[in-house]
Structure formats: structure tokens, C-alpha cells
């Protein structure tokens, strides 16, 4: 999911941002085409074929043949609930992650560009953004799980039982917390280049023309940062919407979100023959992401008008 954002501003491009070349049809010689064959092959094998398998399976009956049953079953209340929870979980963790990540990123840009603080935080973000799945789930269980050391310390020394009102770590609230944990560093990584593009001279220019801080943000920085911010938020949404391993390691009851419902459909030894229902749910996830992408495109158009 590459998110290409164009600078809408007529101002000189920031350092590190290459100006777009003038539109010109460039004819690729055959040799250059050969160079992209591996990439296309990769995309076909790992993206196109699985998507096709899912799409075809969603409309295939248990014994073969075309059917709409699987897609119709997406209307079952428990599946709709799972979709609702998945979207809520992804939206909340994407927004919280985006806002906190952006603030952290902004704090970093004000630090020395090659200073220790910035190097340490970006390196840590690079690691933590990819720190998911079973390892992350275990880290949380060992820390604030039922017999995690923080839980035990709080209970025995401070007298606070964090699970007084239920074992929330293994339910949706737990997923919110754990997902946010990897969303923030991811935001730092993807949003930092955009923040770097904001040049201090613009702020000085705005100030010397009598603009207030608010006016600078409202008329210069925000219009510049809005598209990459929205794009990054979308990336975060998709990141948590499709996350599976972390949830699978934490949640073993009730399958609150769609990826876990798909697991149930594929592996259940109680209810058999639901493989294609699983594919229909996967197709539903693809549709949700497509709708979000479309909304994002719409929003970007609007915001360009509104801010420009």
C-alpha cells in the first residue's frame, strides 16, 4: 500500500523532496521492462492470486458451484458484530496512534537532526513498529497478565487489583492497549519524513509578515501536513485491521474481531465446512479497506480545497 502524496504548495520544495518531473511520455526500452518482471511476478504470486482465491472461494458452495450463501451469511449478527468491533478497534488505535505518534515525531524534529535523542527514538520506533504477534502478546502477559510482575506488585504492595472488574487484557480493551503499542512507533516512522519537510524558514517568514502561531499552523503547516497525516492514519488503520497474530495469542474466547472469526471458520472441529465462509469474511475485509481508501481519496480532495 504505497501512499503517494503530492506537495500541493507552490513554494520551493523542501530539501530531500525531489520535484516531480514535467509530464512527458517516456518510452521504456524492452530491457528496462525486464527489470520489473520480478516485481510483477511477486505481486501476482503474493497479491493477485490470493485475492482471486478469496474472491472465488467466497462465491463457491461447500461442494463446489456458485452460491451467494457465504456472502449472505456475512449479515449474521455475530459476524456483523465482529466487523463492527474490528473497525472500531482499528479506527481508535489508528487515531490514537496517529495523534500521539505525530506529537512524538514533532518533538523529535525540534531536536538536533543527528543528535542522540533522535537516533535512539527512531531506531527504537523501527524495532517496536515491527514488534507484534506472539512476542508482544507474551510481553504484555508477563508484565500485566494475571500473574505478571507489575500486576503482582500492584496487588501485593500497593493494594490495587487492575483486574477487579474483569480480565480486560484478554478482551477488546486489551487489544486496544496492545495495538496502540505498535501503532505509535509506526506513525513516528512514516510521518517523520513529512515533518522533516517543514522548513523553519517558513515559520520565520510567516512571523516576519505578522502572522500569529495559529495562522502559521492554520495556513502553512497544516495544509502541508494534512495529506501525509491522513495517509499515515490510513496505513495505521489497515495495519491493525489486518493484524492477527497478536490477537490470536491474547484472545482465546469469543473471537471478537474478524481475523479471529476467520480462524474459527477455517479450523473449527465443531462446526465443519465453513472454509468458504472464512473466504467471504476475508472478502468483506478487502471491501472495508477499499471503502476506507475511497473515503481517504475523497477527504484529500476536499481538504486540498478547504485548506488551499
- Can you give the binding site for another protein, defined by CB under 8 A? 49-50, 53, 76-78, 81-82, 85, 145-147, 163-167, 170-172, 251-256, 263-264, 267-273
- Sign of the CA dihedral running 95, 96, 99, 104: negative
Coil, strand or helix at 17: coil
Phi, psi of 174, rounded to the nearest 5 degrees: -60, -40
Could you tell me the smallest distance in angstroms from the CB atom of residue 255 to another protein? Answer: 6
> What number of H helices and E strands is found in the chain?
14, 0
109, containing H or E segment: helix 77-109
Nearer to another protein by Cβ, of 162 and 289: the residue is 162
Closer to another protein by CB, 161 or 204: give it: 161
Q: Closer to another protein at the Cβ: 32 or 134?
A: 134
Half-sphere exposure of 87 (CA within 13 A, CB side): 14
Q: How far is it, in rounded angstroms, from Cα 206 to Cα 217?
A: 10
77 vs 208, which CB is nearer to another protein? 77
Quick one: CA dihedral 101, 104, 108, 109, positive or negative? positive
CB of 57 to another protein, least distance (A): 10
Q: What minimum distance in Å lies between the beta carbon of 84 and another protein?
A: 11
Nearer to another protein, 235 or 257 (CB): 257
Q: CA angle at residue 90 from 179 to 229, to 5 degrees?
A: 95
CA gap 164, 3 in Å, rounded: 43
All 3 cell numbers of residue 111?
Answer: 531536536
- Tell me the angle at which helices 222-241 and 77-109 cross, rounded to the nearest 10 degrees: 140
- The cell for 292 is 476506507
Closest distance to another protein from the beta carbon of 70 (Å) = 14
45 vs 287 by CB, closer to another protein:
45
Contact indicator for 232, 190 with CB cutoff of 8 Å: yes
| Closest distance to another protein from the beta carbon of 69 (Å) | 15
Residue keyed to cell 449472505: 72
Min. distance of Cβ 66 from another protein in angstroms?
A: 20
Asked whether 176 and 89 are in contact (CB, 8 A), the reply is yes
CB of 267 to another protein, least distance (A): 6
Q: Residue 66 forms beta bridges with which residues? A: 60
Nearer to another protein, 34 or 53 (CB): 53
Complex with another protein: residue 50 or 115, whichever CB lies closer:
50
| Nearer CB in complex with another protein: 163/244 | 163
Q: Report in angstroms how near the CB of residue 272 gets to another protein at its nearest.
A: 6
Q: CA 185, CA 187: separation in Å to the nearest integer?
A: 5
Cβ atoms < 10 Å from Cβ of 2:
5
Q: Which three cell numbers stand for residue 39?
A: 516485481
| Shortest CB 64 distance to another protein, Å | 14
Amino acid at each position: 500500500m504505497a501512499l503517494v502524496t503530492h506537495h500541493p504548495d507552490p513554494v520551493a520544495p523542501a530539501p530531500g523532496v525531489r520535484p516531480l518531473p514535467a509530464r512527458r511520455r517516456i518510452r521504456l526500452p524492452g530491457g528496462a521492462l525486464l527489470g520489473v518482471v520480478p516485481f510483477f511476478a511477486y505481486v501476482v504470486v503474493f497479491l493477485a492470486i490470493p485475492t482471486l482465491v478469496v474472491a472465488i472461494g467466497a462465491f463457491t458452495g461447500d461442494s463446489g458451484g456458485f452460491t451467494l450463501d457465504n456472502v449472505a451469511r456475512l449479515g449474521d449478527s455475530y459476524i456483523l458484530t465482529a466487523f463492527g468491533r474490528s473497525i472500531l478497534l482499528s479506527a481508535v488505535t489508528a487515531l490514537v496512534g496517529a495523534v500521539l505518534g505525530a506529537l512524538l515525531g514533532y518533538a523529535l524534529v525540534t531536536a538536533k537532526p543527528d543528535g542522540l535523542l533522535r537516533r535512539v527514538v527512531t531506531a527504537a520506533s523501527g524495532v517496536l513498529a515491527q514488534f507484534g504477534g506472539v512476542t508482544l502478546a507474551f510481553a504484555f502477559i508477563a508484565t500485566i497478565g494475571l500473574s505478571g510482575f507489575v500486576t503482582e506488585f500492584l496487588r501485593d504492595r500497593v493494594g490495587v487489583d487492575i483486574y477487579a472488574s474483569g480480565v480486560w487484557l484478554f478482551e477488546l480493551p486489551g487489544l486496544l492497549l496492545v495495538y496502540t503499542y505498535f501503532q505509535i512507533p509506526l506513525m513516528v516512522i512514516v510521518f517523520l519524513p513529512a515533518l522533516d519537510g517543514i522548513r523553519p524558514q517558513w515559520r520565520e517568514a510567516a512571523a516576519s509578515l505578522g502572522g500569529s502561531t495559529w495562522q502559521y499552523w492554520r495556513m502553512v503547516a497544516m495544509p502541508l501536513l494534512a495529506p501525509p497525516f491522513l495517509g499515515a492514519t490510513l496505513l495505521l488503520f489497515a495495519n491493525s485491521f489486518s493484524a492477527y497474530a497478536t490477537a490470536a495469542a491474547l484472545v482465546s474466547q469469543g473471537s471478537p474481531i474478524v481475523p479471529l472469526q476467520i480462524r474459527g471458520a477455517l479450523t473449527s472441529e465443531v462446526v465443519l465446512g465453513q472454509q468458504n465462509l472464512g473466504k467471504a469474511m476475508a472478502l468483506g475485509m478487502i471491501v472495508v479497506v477499499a471503502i476506507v481508501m475511497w473515503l481517504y481519496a475523497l477527504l484529500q480532495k476536499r481538504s486540498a480545497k478547504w485548506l488551499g
